[in-house]
Amino acid sequence: MSHQSLRVAISAHLLAPRGTGYRNAGNHTYIEQTLRRLPEADPELRLTLFARHAPAGLSGAIEQRSTRWPTGRPVLRIVWEQLRLPLAVRRFDVLHASAFV
């Protein structure tokens, strides 16, 4: 497989809308900054973001897929990660998940 076709799924359900307390701390900042800089680092990657709340102003190079699941609730996020995410990413080459159970 050539690098040009590398499909990267990014699980980012720990992203939260601005001003929602502790969820805007370390992991949120890491995910948000990764999303802002990864397209610049390698424009040939095919990036797809799985998140309930994506930060504003992301590169158009990142395809965004939202879920209707209320993944802000920890138990439902864990269920989503264990049951839905494996199905959603089976056609990707790489899964980047900064937090998982």
- Cβ 15 vs Cβ 54: under 8 Å: yes
Tokens, residue 32? 């948000």
Q: What pLDDT digit, counting tens, does each position of 71-96 carry?
A: 888 899 899 999 999 999 999 999 99
H-run or E-run covering 95: strand 94-97
Query: What length is written for the chain?
Result: 101
Q: What pLDDT digit, counting tens, does each position of 22-55 carry?
A: 555 678 788 888 998 999 999 999 999 998 877 7
Task: Count other Cβ atoms within 10 Å, centred on residue 44.
Answer: 11
